[in-house]
A and B are shown apart, each in its own frame.
Chain A
């Protein structure tokens, strides 16, 4: 009857004037880093600063899809480990993260997508991550209701089926990590906005916040779409474009969609939550901005796409639309960096579409990085200098362009 004992998940802590480590951003990445600092490295003198409430940013605004079917080996390795963490964390944190291991199906609508999927499947399977290339008929067997005829303007040509994927209750991850971190001594401060960073002799020494100044030895910037503005306080310019990304849910329905499906041609992904709503999204406004305004255009676009892919959805109604920020790098891979020209400063940002699914595993390695000062092997592919050296990650095949032409 443990679940009947109602306790605060995390206790409000007094704001100290000094912490060993301060982490900016009370989302999945920041909380996971704090949690693993305390759990794996014994660093408990940690504060997580959140300007709004926990999970206000991307952590609470995503569509909660988790998967490891990335394009390149270095990403697959990281996301695969991340995918395996959900069940471990549920036990460790004693908090049900509601991991629904439903598998995901990426739909391809062109001849080129078949080759791209074959490459992905070959890469995944060689690395021990289950993926399968499906033909349209197999796609309809996995997800009844998909229109595999030639009626849609982009007929389905292939599918990349990825059984290990699924969805996780995103808020539960935030709350569970907060609970786990707080139980290990981490202080969580909501409503604490960082307004400046103090540095001396090439090291960061503290932050100035809306609740007062806080000194620290180590500082982690893990504020999702807001990281660029925080890094700019130290004059660091990041190759990150924050774009508004939108998502929405329909009225709740009894379960009929038992997988995540997504389509790049239609620019849509969709899954049925444990509550029965169809959660769907994908579109990013093409211009750089920091707003979280939803648009009428996108609501309509999403309906146009979904009714072509799955005509049965025509009678379903949208109930709620919202928006968050995606911090896009030019190659759609993140920046995890401790070599930023300031001692004690660490950055974990630029996750774009992938910030939620990577949260716990990124936190685990960022904690290792921050505790030891040594860059873990798996993070070597995500250095900032790759942009200066023109060595892009192959996470996206296409040459991306956001905001302006580069």
Chain B
């Protein structure tokens, strides 16, 4: 601890000097200690300039210790824009400054700072566009100057997979998450975790108010989740050593925290405390989200969580309101909280000599405390008038001979690269005093952290007592407590927390503030509390809340919200110096004036025009000040101005943390392993992972040939499979299917289609009658998930009595197709599968192997003799093995979706989405024969549209074609032209080995080509490379047009 930058560790110190952590800054070795933030370690080692600012390349230093601006954004281990104030120090870190050319102390672009006159707000909108041909040059120049962090886009693309944020492999964490990722061979789950919580009361903020609220709720048996962004509870009590009622404040905070932690260890199901867990937002229906930064004990690096809560207590505390004055961005100008916590939490000496310019008693207390720690305080300016301060603090300052200048504020920081002196002036009036110092601690008083409140939907308004934005209307179930309401006395803060906790209890247990329509009680509590118990709890909580709110109670015995500080900006602002309203985007006071002069005179417009509050700090630095300054400029009362909308996330989460383990939720068929073992290449299709190819040949020649010549086997398990039964089942079928379904027979498949209200084809499949009012039906794989909803929706007013059961996942489906299909099937079943006993479009229950009962459908989608076996999913592997073994002599081979796609296209069978689209109806694609146009009573879905379109001309129609030899061979998507006009496109086209020519189907405008006519096809994948060809219209099916093979 020989470090000159350090103070002796006091009772509130969070740094462990016994555990040094070596790291590098710009390649130079530096040592910090366990418990340090990167910024505190750097500051202790003498680093004052942490970065250069976005626009003017001004030196920037440590400012808030809360990540409120991008001043201390650095590249850490190659990850850009890491906030050094918030990042815990780890051994071996490599830290670099951002937005600098060369050394941050002597940045080569620092000269830009002198050209600010040339860059008034929005100057780029009025510059660079004339002559236009030069704009790309300027544009690239602007781009290069913009942004701060440098990202290598190739990072994470190596063989090891995505480890792009650089820190995942370190720290002894296991690199694969247990659930989800690893077992399925996917990379990148890394050490991110996610957690989904629910609670009766979610408490945002673990200071005195939040902890008190949590205790009050927990004592009443409610389940509480408390989220605190720092690594410990206690809020601002944590680093305050001032004596209060005979006890140091930090001891008071520790005692309070200990009580809650004790409840947590006793009843972990009641209280869950999350530290190092910033809240990113409170969204609709009280969904509180955030993330937890893992400590060494956690199995994750960061964990994203979401907590659905019945009620939310917001006790997010306060932060410094920045004081806008000349050169307020100089390294050495620091917020009160930053200087104080550097000293007290991290045992870092903030400076030798300091001057304070504050607007709140906490600032005075900090000045005394730093003096106590050996920092020489030259003066304390307080923007409030004399008499508004806590007399005890003023006396303590005077006792130490520190001049207190009431009604004064900092007007200027002096020093080029860091503060060497400062100038103070009266807020109203003349005169100035200059003090030498290497630290200027400045704020304009405190402001509540309104982020959470704004994100939860509270209505805020300016409060002219606290001079801050306060909620005037809270959403149901949301309560606010603590110093953010303007309270400063610890007893008041605790009482307000307790009161908010009790209000939450009353609300949860059915009290008056319960929002209408919300669920009666949450499950967890219901399980624990009987009705009588609940009633008793309500009564108790109501009494307690009423007592707490009564004038005799503590909350009112203690001091209420203290009067705030209304200073808008430092005295003598401007005068050739920059005063920053927004640090991230270098938005100055002068820029605000300039924006207003150009018509952008309300905060929302100025924000967009001048970029105030658009940088990483978002609303936190600019928010309240911008509103107050603009109100003054317009001559409006300050109450009229509203700060710009606060947008989540309130604390920026990394994409890796949000993505978490990134679970793959695609379904796999029961045969996935078998297919994989045979070399299947999978693609995700809808909800499923499906085998698309079985070799690298994307034309699937072997697979297709084998189906045409021998026999192929397809895992068609994702096929939609349903049973519909009940007295009105047939009525429902009549409504949904476009054909007459009354003739559906036992033992025979009826093929039909479903249309939507526009007459477009949305689904097709077969229906089989299995009993009295009992049918089995199949749908396309992609639609299976919506079929039940579709039936219900289109019969919703009829009151029909039927049941529709989705069997898609419980039944697997195996399709054997090819001339040898029957021979294979005969070997595994004793049932009659002869052509006479089981003809084309038949449906039988057969028994295969050792008594597995299967629905067997004889269909012909691929144009060959084919049997589809629907068996319970658990038997799929058994049946697969049977068929593979039985088919060995007949050349059985699996085939995938692509082969099926080609095989069916040769038959002219349509696939929805491939040969149909939004412009065409069922009749347009040649399937009008399915439509029972006589039926006017079933109200078939789509029938009116089909009728309306029937006589229209100029619609697109599906045509088959044969590509003329010699010119070229088009591919899917080539367009059909008529002269210069595009009149259609090729849906599917393949060269067929079986046919010996290239066939295809195209959607073309009616009349462009009739049967035997010629169509002109053009393909131009890159400009200038035109590939024209012609084709002759041939009606499908192309292969086996008489259908002999599938009937054989």
Contacts and interface: CB of A to CB of B under 8 A. Distances in A.
A87 interface: yes
Interface in B571-609: 594, 597-599, 602, 604-605, 608-609
Interface in A91-118: 91, 94-101, 110-112, 114-118
B1031 to A, nearest CB: 15
B653 A318 contact: yes
A171 B609 contact: yes
Interface residues of B, number: 131
B148 A276 contact: yes
A380 interface: no
A144 B657 CA distance: 23
A319 interface: yes
Contacts of A406: 756-758
B1008 interface: no
B615 to A, nearest CB: 7
B120 A6 contact: yes
A212 interface: no
Contacts of B692: 111
A268 B129 CA distance: 31
Given A9-B598, A405-B790, A255 B146 contact: yes
Nearest to A276: B147
A6 B605 CA distance: 16
Given A95-B126, A119-B973, A318 B143 contact: no
B336 to A, nearest CB: 26
Nearest to B760: A399
B666 interface: yes
B659 A144 contact: no
A404 B786 CA distance: 12
B974 A391 contact: no
Contacts of B594: 6
Interface in B955-978: 955, 971-975, 977
B88 to A, nearest CB: 16
Given A294-B648, A299-B658, A315 B120 contact: no
A290 interface: no
B990 to A, nearest CB: 12
A392 interface: yes
A254 B143 CA distance: 8
A183 B713 CA distance: 72
A317 B655 contact: yes
B125 A172 contact: yes
Interface residues of A, number: 111
B289 A296 contact: yes
A33 interface: no
A233 interface: no
B136 interface: yes
Interface string A365-388: 000000000000000000000000
Interface in B339-366: none
B663 to A, nearest CB: 9
B155 A304 contact: no
A300 B660 contact: yes
A252 interface: yes
A274 B166 contact: no
A135 B616 CA distance: 37
B874 interface: no
A392 B599 contact: no
Contact of B649 (A149, A299, A394): A299
A8 B599 contact: yes
Interface string A333-354: 0000000000000000000000
A121 B164 contact: no
Interface stretch (A17-25, A37-45, A124-132, A203-211): A124-132
B416 to A, nearest CB: 26
Contacts of B295: none
B886 interface: no
B415 interface: no
Nearest to A265: B684
A9 B599 contact: yes
Contact of B187 (A91, A121, A132, A151): A151
A394 B983 CA distance: 12
Interface stretch (A193-201, A220-228, A305-313, A355-363): A305-313
B506 interface: no
Contacts of A110: 683, 685
Contacts of B117: 4
Contacts of B604: 53
Interface in B688-720: 692
Contact of A100 (B139, B165, B608, B918): B139
B975 A123 contact: yes
A402 interface: no
B129 A90 contact: yes
Contact of A392 (B150, B758, B762): B758
A135 B972 CA distance: 15
A331 interface: yes
A388 B971 CA distance: 35
B985 interface: yes
B922 to A, nearest CB: 12
A36 interface: no
Nearest to A128: B1023
Given A3-B127, A303-B655, A397-B918, A253 B151 contact: yes
Contacts of A252: 54, 81, 146-149, 615-616
Contacts of A2: 126
A257 interface: yes
Interface string B142-159: 111011111111111100
B137 to A, nearest CB: 13
Nearest to A277: B147
B952 interface: yes
B154 A321 contact: no
A238 B987 CA distance: 32
Contact of A315 (B73, B80, B952): B80
B304 A300 contact: yes
Interface in A120-167: 120-123, 125-127, 130-133, 143-145, 147, 149, 151, 153-154
A13 interface: no
Given A98-B139, A254-B148, A390 B155 contact: no
A4 B118 contact: yes
A245 to B, nearest CB: 15
Contacts of B939: none
Contact of A318 (B70, B139, B658): B658
B955 A115 contact: no
A307 B127 contact: no
Contact of B188 (A111, A293, A307, A392): A307
Interface in A59-76: 60, 73
A316 interface: yes
A287 interface: no
Contacts of A127: 982
A153 B592 CA distance: 48
Nearest to B692: A111
A313 B146 contact: no
Nearest to B945: A390
A392 to B, nearest CB: 5
A318 B684 CA distance: 28
Contact of B913 (A98, A112, A300, A304): A112
B598 A391 contact: no
The 8 closest A-B pairs by CB, nearest first: A276-B147, A145-B153, A118-B973, A115-B972, A311-B162, A315-B165, A311-B156, A303-B658
28 contacts: A90-B129, A98-B139, A117-B973, A125-B1023, A125-B1026, A126-B980, A132-B1022, A149-B157, A254-B148, A256-B151, A257-B153, A277-B147, A294-B647, A295-B284, A296-B280, A296-B281, A299-B649, A300-B658, A303-B656, A307-B662, A308-B162, A313-B164, A314-B163, A318-B655, A390-B758, A394-B918, A396-B918, A405-B794
Given A73-B982, A253-B81, A314-B659, 15 more contacts: A90-B135, A119-B975, A122-B1019, A122-B1021, A144-B154, A153-B684, A171-B609, A300-B660, A314-B156, A317-B652, A321-B648, A390-B758, A392-B919, A405-B790, A405-B794
